[in-house]
Amino acid sequence: MAHRVTGVLIFFFLFVHVLDTALVRVSPEDYDKVVATYKTPIVALLEYGLVAAILFHALNGLRVIAVDFWSKGPRYQKQMLWSVVGVWIVLMVGAIYPVLGHAARVLFGS
């Protein structure tokens, strides 16, 4: 279920990204306003959520491939799921500073 939810979230992000990028041709002033909102701490949290969704979707996709194409995959799918969750947590902890560092500096000063 989480794989499908993250896939839909990623699709929604890509749809919005295409729309806001297309805005530069229609109204450069409005595009600048939209881009300015992307520099807020709230959007930084949303970006962290996007990183979380992409990482989980990618790692779980590799697990799904292993379950489908490896003869022993179904037998080890629970262990592979916990491995995916473990790797995902480690990567998300590593992504805190690169993704949220700017927002922390804006909120709390440098």
**Tokens matching residue 89:** 């947590």
Q: Are the CB atoms for 47 and 40 separated by under 8 Å?
A: no
The position carrying tokens 């990204």 is 17
The helix or strand, by DSSP H or E, that contains position 76, with its residue range, turns out to be none
In whole angstroms, how large is the CA radius of gyration of the chain? 18
Residue 32: HSE in the Cβ half-sphere, 13 Å Cα cutoff: 3
Average of pLDDT values for 34-44? 89
DSSP state of 110: -
Convert the pLDDT of each residue in 59-80 to its tens digit.
999 999 999 999 999 999 999 9
Convert the pLDDT of each residue in 83-103 to its tens digit.
999 999 999 999 999 989 888
The pTM assigned to this predicted structure is 0.84
The position carrying tokens 């890509």 is 14
